[in-house]
Every structure is written in structure tokens, then in C-alpha cells.
Amino acid sequence: MNASFDPQTVAAVVALGLLCRWLLALWYNTVNLPPGPTGLPFLGNVHQIPLQYPHKTLYEWGQRYGDIIHARLFQKHVLVLDSTKAAEDLLDKRAAKYSDRPHFTLLEDLLQWKPLMVFMSQGETFRLHRKWYQSFLENRQSLRTYESMQQREVDSLLLALLESPENVAYHLKRFTGSLMLEIAYGYTETSEKDAYIRLASETITQSLEAGTLVASLVDFFPILLYLPHWFPGGGFKSNAMKLHGRVWQIMESPFRYVQQAIACSTARPSFTSFMIDQTAKEGQLAEEDELNIKGAAILMYSGGTDTTNTALLTLLLAIALHPEVLRKAQAEIDEKIGPSRLPTLEDRASLPYVECIVKEAYRWNPVLPAGIPHQLREDDEYRGYHIPRGSMVISNIWAMTRDSATYPDSDSFLPERHLPSRGGPICRDPKSIVFGFGRRICPGRFLADSSVWLIAANLLATFDIMNARHPNGDVITPENAFLSGAVSHPKPFICTIRPRNKAYTEMITQRSTSSLAI
């Protein structure tokens, strides 16, 4: 007996089946989720997350719902981790699942910040870049080779502070820029180097600030890429195109500089020159290899400048606000080092209070307060909760450094909290938090940390840092405040910096002269 089916009936059955499957998937992805604020249809919780200081709102949610929080940004599931325990359990111990990245349409497709490992999904290219960074930034032998560069740039910084202490913010920025230019590209020409540092700094800052509301929506609705630039809200495309040209310039110009130096046999050792030598075949680079080296080098530079500079400015602000911390540090340095020389990295273990100051600066103002989002590769369960595949995972580092159980009186700057207590546990080292987690941990953390410590020790040893004064003698107290953004920059402030005595002035001048002669 032959059966015949009405096409409309078949279509209806198929449609019903697809609808059931969709409803089942929807139910599966919404049942037993971690607790969180109730959202609106379509918008989710977008309207509840402010554009300014969102990490503070996520911290408040953590106080209400617990240390793992579920939210939605439109149709995107978001998992917020407000505790170190949750971050370590998921991002460290389950790194294979939690080490992907969401796609950053604005930064990658419009501004063309690629290929940068910080934005890559897991895969062959990610593993290649990670291997390169491990060789140059996590290898003990490589780190030792950078110490002479660090010391030379510190000597140059101290001399600049003698000559124009009012420009301290610029001098700190120039220190980090000069150091990373030499490591990444072997760049040494002073005038060209300064011009590049200014251009790169402006481009990086503007890229981070480019996320207007409409531009940010592009990450969730890539169709907005096709919005005409003249259409209301489409102006972000024109701005992005202008900025894209500068991104291309700061990626291209130092790479060509290295290539030319190699051709003239004048190239200094650097990450880029080494990678060109290792990758080129018969003197030629494949287009893909060239692109990968450019991306890896610019990330090495950009990732090591703005964040390190922010940590240094945070430390300077804390010292200006807490003169008693400066006095304790100087007493320790005078006792352990003496007045006849300046601190080196070899002195680090013998200056525990200076170490505590650096740790507390990391904790007091984590440079990346909300980290950089991870993305979950497959469905997971944690503490009995369902976490859907594709969820964006935010490690709220600011909340972790405000954990009152670990850091009592967490809003205060208290270096002493990091000293071992008699019979009690040592306060958790903030370095295990602020540099990220899992396979996405910052590969330049050792170089950045040693640079921050070296500057801190030398600055504290040689200069007095105090509040500035108005012409009428009134004290100008810096504001204990930080700008909102992906990077938590201190609000611009002024302070007075002057050498402790004539002997240190002469020592700085002599050392700087010797460094320049090398």
C-alpha cells in the first residue's frame, strides 16, 4: 500500500519539529543558570550596566547574587566571576574550555588590530604566537638580557626627572615606550623614537576610547558594519577609518625599519629581527609570516607600554597621597643599600617593604579592572549551574582585589598588608590576580613587574615626592580617582618631585652619563 503525504502537512510537521527543537535548545540554555539580575526581552541586562565604571556595578551584583553571576547582553550569555576562587576553578583548571575569545568586530574588523594574540580564538595561530612570547618574555635567560636595557632606561628617566620633574607623566610614558621599542624592534634613534612613542600612545588610547555606544553594538550586531557613515549613528565608521590608518602606520613603520636595518647589516637584536631571521626562507618572508610578525611585535610593544605606565602612575599617586609610605621605603633603602649606590634588580629580595608598595599599587588600582573577556568553547556545569557554550566570561579583577576577607579595608592604600603576619597567613599576592588567568595570562608579566619594581626602588631612593602648592602656599592634594575605561588610568594630577640631596643628584648625573656612553 503506497502512502501519500500532503506537502503542506509535511511542511507543517517539519516546522513543528524545528520549533520544538528551538524551544528545547532555548530551555536548555536558560534552565538552572547562575543567579543574576532580571533582564528585559531582547535587551537582556544591557540597560543595567553603565558605560562608566561597569566593574563597580558587577561588584555590586556580586554582593547581591554571589561570586558567579549570569547576565545577558542582548542574546549573548555573560558569566561574571567576582572571586579569585571562581576564576581559578574555571579559567585556570578548565583552561581548555575557557580560553577562547569573543570576536571584537570594532577593534579587529574596523581598526584592523590583527593578528594580535590577545584577540585570537584558540587555534594554530594562537599557539604559534604564544610560543613566540614564551621564548622572548617568559624565558629566564631572555629576561636577563633585558636587564641592561631596563637599567639604562631607568638612568635616563631619573636624569629627565632632575631636569623637568613637572613632566613626570611624559617621562614615565617615554620609559616604557623606549624599553619596549628596543625589545620589540631594536629601535634606538632618539628623535624618531620619541615621535613614534607619541603616535603609538595616541593611537592606542584612541582605540580604547573608540567604543561609543553605537560602535560597541557592532560587536553584537556586525550587520551595523554596513550602516552608511552618513546615517545617524554611523559616524563611528568614519572615525574608525581615520584611526585604522594610524594603526597600520604604527604596525608597518617599525617593521620596515627592522627590514632595512637587516639589509644594511645594522640591525640590533630584537624580537622582530629574530623572527624574520627564523621565518624567512631564502631571504623572503611569506605574506602570512610577515603579517604574524607585525601583529606579534605591535602587541609586544602596545601591551607593555600603556599598562606598565598606568601601574607606575598609580604608584606615584599613592606615594603622593601617603608620605609616610615614602619615609618607610627610604628608611629601608638607606639601611639595606646605603647612600653610595642605587638599587638594582639584584636587591629586590632585600627590600621587602618596597616590594609591598608595588604589590599594593597593583591591588589598589588594577590596570585592567574587568580583565579581557574569555569565551566558553562548550557547555559546562559549575556548582550545579549550567553555563551555555559561547558565553562571554568576565573576570572582575577589581572585585577580586576588593575582597574584604582577603584585603580588609580594601579601599585604603596599605602596603603593610602584604608583609607576613606572625602566626597568620600571608596576604594573597595581587600579582596572581591582576595579570589574568589560564592560557590568557599576560605573557609580559615578568618584564612588566621587574620594570615597575626597578623604577619604584630608584624613584623612592633618590627623590622626595610630595604635594604641590599653590602660589599662595595652599597644598594641592591629588584626587584619589581613576578614569573609566578598559584601562584604569589615574586622573591627571600634579605633585612635587625633587632630589633628596646633592649626593643623589650627582649620582644620577654620573650614572646617566655612563649609560649614554655605552
Q: What is the pLDDT of residues 286-304, one digit of tens each?
A: 999 999 999 999 999 998 8
Residue 20 has pLDDT above 70, yes or no: no
Are the CB atoms for 487 and 306 separated by under 8 Å? yes
Look up the CATH number of the domain holding residue 408.
1.10.630.10
Cell of 42: 531582547
Residue 203 has pLDDT above 70, yes or no: yes
The amino acid that residue 264 corresponds to is C
Lowest-pLDDT range of 199-213, 341-355, 446-460: 199-213
* More confident call, 239 vs 451: 451
Residue 23 confidence (pLDDT): 46
| Location of C-alpha cell 557554550 | 389
**Rounded Cα–Cα distance for residues 120 and 110 (Å):** 16
| Location of C-alpha cell 596572581 | 432
Q: Within a domain: residue 443?
A: yes
Among 79, 2, 64, 4, smallest CA distance to 34 is for 79
**Rounded Cα–Cα distance for residues 123 and 142 (Å):** 26
Residue span of the structural domain in which 490 resides: 46-517
Extract the annotated binding site: 442
| Location of C-alpha cell 621565518 | 279
Q: 234 vs 50, 216, 237, CA distance in Å?
A: 22, 12, 6
The amino acid that residue 438 corresponds to is G
Residue 54 has pLDDT above 90, yes or no: yes
Residue 516 confidence (pLDDT): 58
**Rounded Cα–Cα distance for residues 203 and 315 (Å):** 24
Residue 267 confidence (pLDDT): 93
**Rounded Cα–Cα distance for residues 510 and 342 (Å):** 12
240-297 pLDDT, tens digit per residue, is: 888 889 999 999 999 999 999 999 999 999 999 999 999 988 778 999 999 999 999 9
| Location of C-alpha cell 609570516 | 289
Q: Within a domain: residue 252?
A: yes
Q: What is the mean pLDDT of residues 431-446?
A: 96
65-104 pLDDT, tens digit per residue, is: 999 999 999 989 999 999 999 999 999 999 999 999 999 8
**Rounded Cα–Cα distance for residues 262 and 269 (Å):** 10
Residue 307 confidence (pLDDT): 92
Q: State the distance between the two ends of the chain, measured CA to CA, in whole angstroms.
A: 97
Cα 58 off chain centre by: 19
Extract the annotated binding site for heme: 442
The domain tally of the chain equals 1
3-state helix, strand, coil in the chain (%, to 5): 60, 10, 35
Angle subtended at Cα 350 by Cα 346 and Cα 356, rounded to the nearest 5 degrees: 105
Q: Within a domain: residue 77?
A: yes
* Mean per-residue pLDDT over the chain, rounded: 89
Q: Within a domain: residue 431?
A: yes
Are the CB atoms for 447 and 301 separated by under 8 Å? no
Residue 24 has pLDDT above 60, yes or no: no
| Location of C-alpha cell 553571576 | 69
Are the CB atoms for 107 and 208 separated by under 8 Å? no
Cα 459 off chain centre by: 23
Q: Identify the bridge partners of residue 81 per DSSP, sorted by sequence position.
A: 68, 395
* More confident call, 232 vs 337: 337
Strands 76-81 and 392-395, by their bridges, are parallel
Q: Within a domain: residue 416?
A: yes
Cell of 126: 594562537
Q: Within a domain: residue 7?
A: no
Residue 1 confidence (pLDDT): 45
Q: Within the chain, what is the greatest distance between any pair of CA atoms?
A: 109
Cell of 220: 553584537
The amino acid that residue 262 corresponds to is I
| Location of C-alpha cell 574587568 | 370
Q: What is the mean pLDDT of residues 415-444?
A: 88
Q: Within a domain: residue 480?
A: yes
Residue 12 confidence (pLDDT): 59
Cα 208 off chain centre by: 11
Cell of 47: 540597560
Cell of 150: 631596563
Residue 186 confidence (pLDDT): 93
Q: 63 vs 37, 55, 89, 436, CA distance in Å?
A: 12, 13, 20, 22
pTM of the predicted model over 0.75: yes
Q: In which band, very low, low, confident or very high, does the pLDDT at 14 lie, cut at 50, 70 and 90?
A: low
Residue 110 has pLDDT above 90, yes or no: no
* More confident call, 1 vs 513: 513
Q: Within a domain: residue 433?
A: yes
Lowest-pLDDT range of 183-192, 356-365, 396-405: 183-192
208-237 pLDDT, tens digit per residue, is: 776 554 456 778 777 777 777 666 666 677
Are the CB atoms for 427 and 417 separated by under 8 Å? yes
